[in-house]
A and B are shown apart, each in its own frame.
Chain A
């Protein structure tokens, strides 16, 4: 856009020439800022992380700072029990949350799609999206209060109205609790994508299956789900990537505890970097983690394929 404004004071022929250039090379002008930003946010952190992972970088130990460390940071990343444990915790958290969010999101979307009244549909749609609006810190606050074994309303309701003994959610079932809270928080994301996806399945297809006498489950398995495959794939891929990034919610809910029971990799890296101020080891773990996620996503994209999703 600057090309246009800069030439305002120039002669008309210059202006016309600038306009011509602007239009002729429009795709380049349009792409350049994005490419610059992308280079800055992918190449720079990647290269810098790689550099940090190969040197000593303990802020508390300025004497050795910046000296070559070989692969000792990576050795620390792989041998420290904390790092390996946090990979396991992350896999359990991501797997559990993704499964629950996908299942709930799909069932809810199917149920809402079948609602006859448009107003009721709109009501459910708004209500079901709401949790997504809640910031992780607020969410953590809410659930810390509600699940607290002394002042929490959930243990109180369980103890009062059910025959069960209320567990102490955050200390006895920390991993399950963060999975459930994340499910509460992000099922809306799956719901809204699946809802839009279901709306796009042509009526005629489903009707035809009905006429052929296919029962409900067959209509879903053989007609609806195959038709929605691109939507399911994009939603699951994006949610998967975001689940691996989870930080704020779990950090403010449990700080990774009790002990290290909910220490996700992202929290582990944070602790290495800013509590133990060892950016070398923190970066090494980050590199290993990133390579793992990129590899996983590439396998998924290659296996399931992009066809029908973006072309």
Chain B
């Protein structure tokens, strides 16, 4: 799987060039050192802001923004206790968790079978259909939200969970179809044909043979869909008021109203990051496969 395309001549005998100042061994070692130096530098760039927000949330209010920063401090859960007392935050958190999870299940139920058909059957104008599906992602959310704002108000869907779940489905449907189609493309058709020969119906072939084989893809596309819905701000901002408020919206309101309470803000931000962070670390292997859009699997 690994392709070492970088400075690693290895055993494969690169023609020796007398003009090189260092031996091949030394050059390899230097390249490895340089590589890790660059990668560690980026690791610091990535981790520092995350470390900063978490450490801030664990500091007592006075220390939170002191400069020079207290690199060593006694962690406290004070900010998190206050966050829990903010009943509206917990409610929004639970609300988001419910709505996002429901939307992911729904978008999979709608998108996965469609992707299967797009992969296995000759659809007229297949390419146009795929581009049409992708085009739903080209509409700026704000252009989507205005019509739905008006229609939701007249259908009594404004500020409801059902309305928000539907909106989350609209964000993710194109991603699910595109990624899952690539996954199904990578699963040999011979598998289902064998099942059909053994007397399975079309549906059984799909459910008992194809679906299990596509599990990593379904898993990863579910995670990605979860992330995209979980971090969504605009729909919550425009389409909810208090019953269906999202966690992003809660934090957004903290930014405006409680600018001074850095610790509380940091704790809220950490709380929003946490579920997805846990997910990503737990399933990063599948995530890589899922985001590759089936490229690896096609191999």
Residues of A within 8 A of B (CB): 19, 22-23, 26-27, 29-31, 33-35, 37-38, 41-42, 44-46, 48-49, 52, 104, 108, 110-116, 120-122, 124-138, 140-146, 151, 153, 156, 160, 184, 189, 192-193, 195-203, 206-207, 210-211, 213, 216, 219-220, 223-224, 230-231, 234, 238, 241-242, 244-245, 247-248, 251-252, 265-266, 269-270, 273-274, 279, 282-283, 286-287, 289-290, 293-294, 297-298, 301, 306, 310
Contacts and interface: CB of A to CB of B under 8 A. Distances in A.
6 contacts: A23-B202, A34-B111, A111-B39, A201-B5, A224-B5, A231-B293
Given A30-B114, A195-B288, A310-B130, 7 more contacts: A46-B139, A52-B146, A116-B32, A141-B255, A153-B52, A160-B68, A266-B142
A213 B20 CA distance: 14
Given A130-B50, A133-B277, A245 B141 contact: yes
A169 B283 CA distance: 35
B284 interface: yes
B136 to A, nearest CB: 5
Contact of B131 (A116, A143, A293, A301): A301
Contacts of B227: 132-133
**A116, A153, A289 interface centre (most CB from chain B within 10 Å):** A153
Given A41-B144, A136-B231, A145-B262, A22 B203 contact: yes
B46 interface: yes
B266 A145 contact: yes
B136 A42 contact: yes
Contacts of B117: 26-27, 30-31
Contact of B65 (A44, A151, A220): A151
A257 to B, nearest CB: 13
A110 B248 contact: no
B230 A135 contact: yes
Nearest to A41: B170
B9 interface: yes
A198 to B, nearest CB: 6
B150 interface: yes
Interface residues of B, number: 110
Contacts of B13: 211
Closest 6 CB pairs of A and B: A196-B292, A286-B143, A34-B114, A248-B233, A48-B147, A114-B6
B248 A206 contact: no
Contact of A156 (B47, B68, B281): B68
B233 to A, nearest CB: 4
A114 B5 contact: yes
A290 to B, nearest CB: 6
A34 B299 CA distance: 29
Interface of B: 1-9, 12-15, 32, 35-36, 38-39, 42-43, 45-47, 49-50, 52-53, 56, 65, 67-69, 109-111, 113-114, 116-117, 120-121, 123, 127, 130-144, 146-148, 150-151, 169-170, 173, 177, 181-182, 185, 201-203, 206, 227, 230-234, 238, 248, 251-252, 254-255, 262, 265-266, 268-270, 272-273, 276-277, 279-281, 284, 287-289, 291-293, 295-296, 298-299
A244 B266 contact: no
B18 to A, nearest CB: 14
A248 B232 contact: yes
A206 B3 contact: yes
Given A124-B43, A135-B273, A41 B136 contact: yes
B38 A111 contact: yes
B9 to A, nearest CB: 7
A244 B6 contact: no
Given A33-B114, A310-B182, A286 B140 contact: yes
Contacts of B42: 104, 108, 128
Nearest to A285: B143
B203 A136 contact: no
Given A126-B281, A138-B269, A273-B146, A207 B67 contact: no
